[in-house]
Amino acid sequence: TFSVQVSGATPWSSANGIFYDGNGNEIKGAIAKGIDVSYHNGDIDWAKVKAAGISFALLRCGYGNDERNQDDIKFVQNVKGCEDNGIQYGVYLYSYAVGNDKEKTLEDMARSEAEHVLRMIEEAGAKPTMPVYYDIEDKSQVEMTTKQYGDMAEIFAIL
């Protein structure tokens, strides 16, 4: 049996190959355990992560526009940790693109965010074994239309 503790809560556990949520309910269809990490998690002992049965990680490379002050300062270290320990990983960028910015268009912001991911992957020499994800969930984006979300995601995906 294995479980992960986060702020005193147990978000999931597993026993005999079956995964359970924090309330003890079986998570149907779960086939792997993964984690989402960024600099907020500090220095990660990736050997312990592997030993704990984590099979994949989603690594934040940064947030927002392609500006160095928005790079995740632990990204390179986390890429190395995954690669050195045989942990599959994907990459994500936390989006701050909005449709009501007075200085930049939504398209320009989405393009800059895509360029941010590409730059970070290249500079880290990363070879992700899983997809690149566009994390669109910031509260500043709540007023955007479905079309704006779609346009933004399309621009991001094309690059």
- Regarding whether 38 and 17 lie in a shared domain, the answer is no
- Regarding whether 79 and 23 lie in a shared domain, the answer is no
- Regarding whether 118 and 89 lie in a shared domain, the answer is yes
pLDDT in tens, 78-130: 999 999 999 999 999 999 999 888 889 999 999 999 999 999 999 999 999 99
What pLDDT score was predicted for residue 6?
Answer: 42
- Regarding whether 45 and 15 lie in a shared domain, the answer is no
Give the residue, 107 or 31, on which the prediction is more confident.
107
For residue 79, the enclosing domain spans 32-158
Number of domains in the chain: 2
- Regarding whether 112 and 151 lie in a shared domain, the answer is yes
- Regarding whether 44 and 4 lie in a shared domain, the answer is no
- Regarding whether 87 and 21 lie in a shared domain, the answer is no
- Regarding whether 18 and 47 lie in a shared domain, the answer is no
- Regarding whether 77 and 6 lie in a shared domain, the answer is no
Instruction: Output the domain CATH number for residue 44.
Output: 3.20.20.80
What is the SS3 assignment for the chain?
CEEEEECCEEEEEEECCEEEECCCCECCCCCCCEEEECHHHCCCCHHHHHHCCCCEEEEEEEECCCCHHHECCCHHHHHHHHHHCCCEEEEEEECCCCCCCCCCCHHHHHHHHHHHHHHHHHHHCCCCCCCEEEECCCHHHCCCCHHHHHHHHHHHHHC
- Regarding whether 55 and 2 lie in a shared domain, the answer is no
- Regarding whether 36 and 11 lie in a shared domain, the answer is no
pLDDT in tens, 44-72: 999 999 998 899 999 999 999 999 999 99
- Regarding whether 88 and 57 lie in a shared domain, the answer is yes
